[in-house]
Amino acid sequence: MQNLRKPIHSVHQLQVHIVWSTKYRFQVLKGEIQIRCRDLIRQSCDRMDVQLLKGVVSKDHVHLHLSYAPKLSISEIVKPLKGRSARILLEEFGELRKRYWGGHFWGIGYGAWSSGNITDEIIQAYLEHHKEDPNGDESFILE
C-alpha cells in the first residue's frame, strides 16, 4: 500500500476529493488571483499536516485530492482552506472586494468524496476471510 501515513500509534491512508466553487460561479480565479489562491491552499494544508496529493484551481472552482490524519474531520479541513483563502484574497485584491462586497468569496458548501485503493468488494472479501477463525472459535459478526 502506498501513501501510508504512520504516526506513533496508528497506520492510515485516508484520502478525500474535495470540490468547492466561487460564489455565483464567477470566473475570477485567473492570473495572480489563481496563483495566490493556490499558494494559500498549500500553506493551509501544510499548517494542518494535510498532504496535497493533487489539486487544480480552475477559473470558478477548486478540486483537491488530499491525504489527512484521522484526528481531522473533512469539515475541519475545508473550513480553514475556504475561510483563510477567502479572507486573504479579498484583502489583497481590490477587484474581488468590489465584486464580493458582502465578504463572501466562496459559495456555500462543498463536495467531498472518499478515495483510496481498496474497493467495497476487497473489504467484503477481507471480512469474509476473518469470519472463519483458524482456532475454531466463532467470530462476532456485525450485520
What tens digit of pLDDT does each residue of 16-46 get?
999 999 999 999 999 999 999 999 999 999 9
Average pLDDT, the chain: 88
**Furthest CA-CA distance within the chain:** 71
DSSP-derived letter for residue 83 is H
pLDDT digits (tens, 9 = 90+) for 127-140: 776 566 555 555 55
Q: How far apart are CA 96 and CA 41, in angstroms?
A: 18
- CATH number of this structure's domain 14-116: 3.30.70.1290
Whose cell is 477548486? That residue is 62
Are the C-beta atoms of residues 41 and 81 closer than 8 Å to each other? yes
Dihedrals φ, ψ of 6, to 5°?
-130, 80
Going from N- to C-terminal start, the domains of the chain cover 14-116
| CA pair distance 132, 141, nearest whole angstrom | 10
Q: What is the pLDDT of residues 110-123, one digit of tens each?
A: 999 998 777 778 77
Q: Which residues are catalytic?
A: 126
Give the residue with greater pLDDT, 118 vs 52: 52
pLDDT beyond 90 at 125: no
